[in-house]
Amino acid sequence: MKILVYGFGNPARQDDALGIEFVHRMQQMLEREFDTLSNIEFDIGYQLNIEDALKISRYDEVYFVDASYDEKENFNIVKLYPKPLQHYSMHSVEPAFILDICRELYGVLPETYMVKVRGYEWQMKEGLSPAAEQNLSLALDAFQYYIESDIQISEKQPMIT
Amino acid sequence: MTKKITIEPVTRVEGHGKVTVHLDEKGNVTQSRLHIVEFRGFERFIQGRPFWEAPVLVQRLCGICPVSHHLAASKAMDAIVGVTPETISPTAEKMRRLMHYGQIFQSHALHFFHLASPDLLFGIDAEPARRNVIALAMENKELASQGILMRQFGQEVIEATAGKKIHGTGAIPGGINKALDPQDKDRFLNGADPLNAAKMVDWAEDALNFFLDYHKKNKEFIDNFAAFPSNHLSIVRKDGALDLYHGVLRAVDTAGNKILHDIDYNTYLDFIGEEVKSWSYMKFPFLKNKGKKEGWYRVGPLARLNTADFIPSPRAQKAFEAYKAYTNGKPNNMSMHMHWARLIETLHAAEMIETLLQDPEILEGELIREGKRQSEGIGLLEAPRGTLFHHYQVDDNDLISMANLIVSTTNNNEPMNQAVHLVAKEYLEGQKEITEAMLNAVEVAIRAYDPCLSCATHAMGKMPLKVTLLDASDKMLDEKLKN
């Protein structure tokens, strides 16, 4: 099974960097623990874009990771289903929309999850806020457990903290 | 009762803005405006940072055209380290050009296939659910797939030249940090179909032919929708050729008379002013010699093909000749012809990529040069959406003390407002009911300019669509929110 963990966000917008930071740190954590990570790949982006539909079509399981403005929990992982959009802007392309293009254009539907990490500060400034940093740490611990069990256990449920 | 219709944000453009249309008691359009509601503050963000960080930092302005900012800032920083466009090494210039044409190619492809073509294929009066890229994909999978692969090819050229997919580091003050890897050259020139340069040239020509065929069948709409006279500005090569990376500043009026005579862009402040208006964060640039009222101008593909005398690549030149013949060699003021011009530039970018890849100097040579340190640097280039100005001052501690950026969309601010007003008058005036098709017509006019209104944070839950109805005293009559 091929897995993609794909974080996106703008590192110059404080907590909007949560998706990218998540991927960097998760990759480091897993590489420290395992000798080879042959079935997991990592990628980052400034924002989702149309060609990401082609990218995810090559994986069996995909985890999108993004900062969340309105998430009530510290973090959350939810299963995604394809969703067409009526109003389309390259700056508000949702993962479910990318999934929809993937299904329509390439005829495949990878198992896809959205990892949402709650953020608080969005000014033109670098560095995560302390609260977002704490949420990121919690999300990384939980996701590491989650992804490890994913390799061993075929059935898993969306997790809500 | 007089009322004001607000569309916020405009959909299918980069970033977000809102449009307000004021109607009087008889339903006549009295005023329409494109408001830019987000203040970016980037020019302040970069102050106090070491100058060599600028080419990397400024990319964060935009997720769609970061390379344009990367290269414009690099050109400005070349001046700081004493390197001029005449003294930069051939390898550095050619690598930067390859990066730039990769950016133009992918950005133009994205705009045409995935932002504009749904409007063209299905019509602006089609129901909203049909006017999106999924509908395009379902009804014309080959076209949608080609668009994605053209964008992917451009992105791969950028990654090979800039070093990274996002926030590339390829261009540095005074040059570049690496030449092209021979394996990348071989991959781009001889890679399996369809991801090679020759196929991209063919596909770019196919896309142009698709538009020309559409134009034949829809002349009235394409020729008349939001058409209005204006001045046009861009950089051109010293001999008048289309050059998207470097040149002199030229402007022509609606009759084709030169009103800015190929000036050195380092003197732009002597010729271009910026007007501030209370209802928008975005400034309104104008040519000082024509004044605020008459001096506004368009930038971008339409303007570039109006200012340039010829295109220095054979297939794009042939297309350019047909394009110019359509207006008897006079400037083209038809807003929807922006798509035609954009597709000719897409073809030119593909040809330039193929040519640059065959140049041996792109594989080896001097990467970086230095000269006499300066305290001020100005870098201009033609970004996908139009002329992009970067201007910096640096203090004795190598820290940036002043930054002034005029982005392409700012240059097109007044033209977009003109287009919105024209369309609003044509589609909304005297109507008893404001339909989705009428509102979309306003958006189509804006989208022709491919505006990048801002790079707002896109964290989930932060991009609602708000439609507000207000009366003449700005009292809200109705409001709808869509996510």
Task: Summarize pLDDT for B208-234 with one digit per residue, the tens.
Answer: 998 898 889 889 888 988 889 999 999
Task: Look up the pTM and report it.
Answer: 0.85
Residue B95: what pLDDT? 98
DSSP alpha helices (H): ranges in B175-248?
Answer: 182-190, 197-217, 219-224
Cα-based distances in Å from A10 to A44, B47, B99, B255: 10, 19, 22, 44
Residue B457: what pLDDT? 35
Chain B residues in contact with A105 (beta carbon < 8 A): 137, 141, 144-145, 148
Contact B249, B308 (CB under 8 A): no
Judged by DSSP in three states, B157 sits in helix
Cα dihedral: A10, A16, A19, A25 (round 10): 90
Query: Cβ–Cβ of A101/B166 closer than 8 Å?
Result: no
Residue B78: what pLDDT? 98
Chain B residue with Cα closest to A114: B460
Q: Model confidence over A5-29: pLDDT tens digits?
A: 999 988 878 899 999 999 999 999 8
Chain A residues in contact with B455 (beta carbon < 8 A): 10, 91
Residue B459: what pLDDT? 41
Any idea which of A70-79, A152-161, B197-206 has the lowest mean pLDDT?
A152-161
β partners of residue A79: A113
Please tell me which residue, B43 or B206, carries the higher pLDDT value. B206
pLDDT band at B43; cut points 50, 70, 90: confident
CA distance B115 to B13: 8
pLDDT band at B458; cut points 50, 70, 90: very low
**Average pLDDT in chain A:** 84
Q: Residue B267 class from Cβ within 10 Å (0-12 exposed, 13-18 middle, 19+ buried)?
A: exposed
Report the residue from A69, A85, A122 with minimal CB separation from B132.
Answer: A85
pLDDT at B188 over 90: yes
Report the residue from A13, A54, A91 with minimal CB separation from B14.
Answer: A91
**Average pLDDT in chain B:** 84
Query: Cβ–Cβ of B41/A45 closer than 8 Å?
Result: no
Any idea which of A5-9, A122-126, B199-203, B459-463 has the lowest mean pLDDT?
B459-463
3-state secondary structure chain A: CCEEEEEECCCCEHHHHHHHHHHHHHHHHHHHHCCCCCCEEEEEECCCCCCHHHHHCCCCEEEEEEEECCCCCCEEEEECCCCCCCCCCHHHCCHHHHHHHHHHHHCCCCEEEEEEEECCCCCCECCCCHHHHHHHHHHHHHHHHHHHHHHHCCCCCCCEC
Judged by DSSP in three states, B232 sits in strand
Query: Cβ–Cβ of A16/B66 closer than 8 Å?
Result: no
Q: What is the mean pLDDT of residues A67-78?
A: 88
Please tell me which residue, B186 or B422, carries the higher pLDDT value. B186
- Judge whether A126 is closer than 8 Å to chain B, CB to CB: no
Please tell me which residue, A39 or B120, carries the higher pLDDT value. A39
Closest-CA residue to B398 (of B165, B121, B3, B81): B81
The alpha carbon of residue B51 is apart from the nearest alpha carbon of chain A, in Å, by 17
Contact B380, B68 (CB under 8 A): no
Query: Cβ–Cβ of A91/B141 closer than 8 Å?
Result: no
Cα-based distances in Å from B177 to A62, B97, B171, B174: 34, 14, 7, 10
Please tell me which residue, A125 or A137, carries the higher pLDDT value. A137
Cβ density class B22-41: b for 16+ within 10 Å, e for less: bbeeeeebeebbbbbbbebe
- Judge whether A116 is closer than 8 Å to chain B, CB to CB: yes
φ/ψ bin of B215: left (φ > 0), alpha (ψ from -120 to 50), beta (otherwise): alpha
Chain B residues in contact with A47 (beta carbon < 8 A): 63, 458
Q: What is the mean pLDDT of residues A102-112?
A: 93
pLDDT at A156 over 50: no
Q: Model confidence over B368-421: pLDDT tens digits?
A: 999 999 999 999 999 998 999 999 999 999 999 999 888 888 898 889 888 888
Number of neighbouring beta carbons within 10 Å of residue B481: 10
CA distance A126 to B440: 37
Percent of chain B with pLDDT over 70: 80
Please tell me which residue, B172 or B112, carries the higher pLDDT value. B172
pLDDT at A1 over 90: no
Chain B residue with Cα closest to A119: B459
Q: Please, what are the domains in chain A?
A: 3-152 (3.40.50.1450)
CA distance B387 to B406: 8
Closest-CA residue to A6 (of A51, A56, A71): A56
Query: Cβ–Cβ of B63/A100 closer than 8 Å?
Result: no
pLDDT at B278 over 80: no
Tell me the CA end-to-end span of chain A in Å, nearest whole number: 26
Q: What is the mean pLDDT of residues B276-288?
A: 81
Please tell me which residue, A142 or B460, carries the higher pLDDT value. A142
Closest-CA residue to B242 (of B303, B191, B200): B303
Query: How is residue A52 written in tokens?
Result: 């990401």
Query: Cβ–Cβ of B461/A68 closer than 8 Å?
Result: yes
Q: Model confidence over B433-452: pLDDT tens digits?
A: 666 776 777 777 777 777 76
Chain B residues in contact with A16 (beta carbon < 8 A): 457-459
Residue B128: what pLDDT? 55
pLDDT band at A129; cut points 50, 70, 90: very high
Residue B442: what pLDDT? 75
pLDDT at B275 over 50: yes
Report the residue from B16, B110, B460 with minimal CB separation from A89.
Answer: B16
CA distance B43 to B400: 10
Any idea which of A140-149, B122-131, B159-168, B454-463 has the lowest mean pLDDT?
B454-463
Please tell me which residue, B85 or A147, carries the higher pLDDT value. B85
The alpha carbon of residue A77 is apart from the nearest alpha carbon of chain B, in Å, by 13
CA distance B191 to A106: 22
Q: If you search the block for the tokens 């302005």, which residue do you land on?
A: B61
Q: Please give the helix or strand (H or E) that residue B109 lies within, else none.
A: helix B90-110
Chain B residue with Cα closest to A82: B134
pLDDT at A108 over 90: yes
Report the residue from B12, B144, B459 with minimal CB separation from A88.
Answer: B12
The alpha carbon of residue B453 is apart from the nearest alpha carbon of chain A, in Å, by 10
ipTM exceeding 0.90?
no
pLDDT band at B286; cut points 50, 70, 90: very high
Q: Residue B5 class from Cβ within 10 Å (0-12 exposed, 13-18 middle, 19+ buried)?
A: buried
Amino acid at site A6: Y
pLDDT band at B481; cut points 50, 70, 90: very low
CA distance B24 to B1: 7
pLDDT at B328 over 90: yes
pLDDT at B12 over 60: no
pLDDT band at A88; cut points 50, 70, 90: very low
